[in-house]
């Protein structure tokens, strides 16, 4: 597999950038994560190691509830998140929100587990085959109390196909077609979720040895 001459990781090292905050690390992970989706399953060894390192950091961060401000780190505004975390296409944030999806003429209830601008992972009693076309309907207080977002999607994978934990059987859906203004609402969901998470960090949300190596300013 051929890779571009310059990969995001090498750019960061060559430019001598210093990761100053947790938000910088999320931004770097977003860039690498988007690039991984384009380049395929494997990076060159150095970038693969960095991606896995940042993924472990991000997964730990997102696994915590973030309920209630516990200011171990500084807080970030939505504008700061938007400016520093520019690669948000594949950056998943927790959703835990009821939604409905339609396949053909049948409607089914589901629970959204996590969401990105590019897709959503949901759990449901109905698991459809890969490549099935569906319509997804979801609402969120981050957008409007009365708004119902509709997006066209396709089943990209299921937990039975990937061998993931079957205690949460579900499907990964990739959004398809002309998203129009919906992409702005999805982006707002991602940004606002990051703002909430980063406003409620405690010491259990951070990997101390990793943050010491990165020399972050908390």
Question: pLDDT of 152-183, one tens digit each?
Answer: 999 999 988 665 555 678 999 999 977 777 88
For residues 14-30, average pLDDT = 74
CB under 8 Å to 9, separation ≥6 — which residues? 32, 43, 46, 47, 50, 51
- Is the per-residue pLDDT at 93 higher than 70? yes
Judge whether 153 and 134 are in contact, CB under 8 Å.
Answer: yes
- E strands, 3-132, are 93-103, 106-115, 119-123
Find how far residue 187's CA is from the centre of its chain.
Answer: 11
Predicted TM-score (pTM) of the model is 0.74
| Adjacent-strand bridge partners of 108 | 101
pLDDT confidence band for 127 (50 / 70 / 90): very high
* CA–CA dist 26, 30 (Å, integer): 6
CATH topology of domain 93-182: Thrombin, subunit H (2.40.10)
pLDDT of residue 167: 60
Over the stretch 36-71, which tens digit does the pLDDT of each residue have? Answer: 876 566 788 898 999 999 998 898 888 765 444 455
Domain boundaries, the chain: 8-75+199-214, 93-182
* CA–CA dist 55, 128 (Å, integer): 28
């Amino acid at each position: 597999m051929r890779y571009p001459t310059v990969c995001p990781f090498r750019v960061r090292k060559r430019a001598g950038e210093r990761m100053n905050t947790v938000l910088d690390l999320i931004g770097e992970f977003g860039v690498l994560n988007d690039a991984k989706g384009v380049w395929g399953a494997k990076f060159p060894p150095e970038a693969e190691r960095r991606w896995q390192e940042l993924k472990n950091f991000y997964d730990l961060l997102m696994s915590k509830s973030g309920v209630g401000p516990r200011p171990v780190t500084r807080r970030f505004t939505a504008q700061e998140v938007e400016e520093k975390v520019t690669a948000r296409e594949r950056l998943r944030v927790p959703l835990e929100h009821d939604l409905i999806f339609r396949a053909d003429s049948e409607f089914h209830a589901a629970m959204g587990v996590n969401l990105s601008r590019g897709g959503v992972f949901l759990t449901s009693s109905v698991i459809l085959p890969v490549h099935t076309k569906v319509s997804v309907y979801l609402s969120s207080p981050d957008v409007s109390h009365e708004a119902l977002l509709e997006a066209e999607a396709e089943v990209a994978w299921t937990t039975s196909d990937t061998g993931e934990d079957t205690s949460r059987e579900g499907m990964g859906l990739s959004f398809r077609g002309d998203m129009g203004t919906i992409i702005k609402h999805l982006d707002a969901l991602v940004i606002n979720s990051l703002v909430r998470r980063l406003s409620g960090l405690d010491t259990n949300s951070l990997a101390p040895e990793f943050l010491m190596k990165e020399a972050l300013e908390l």
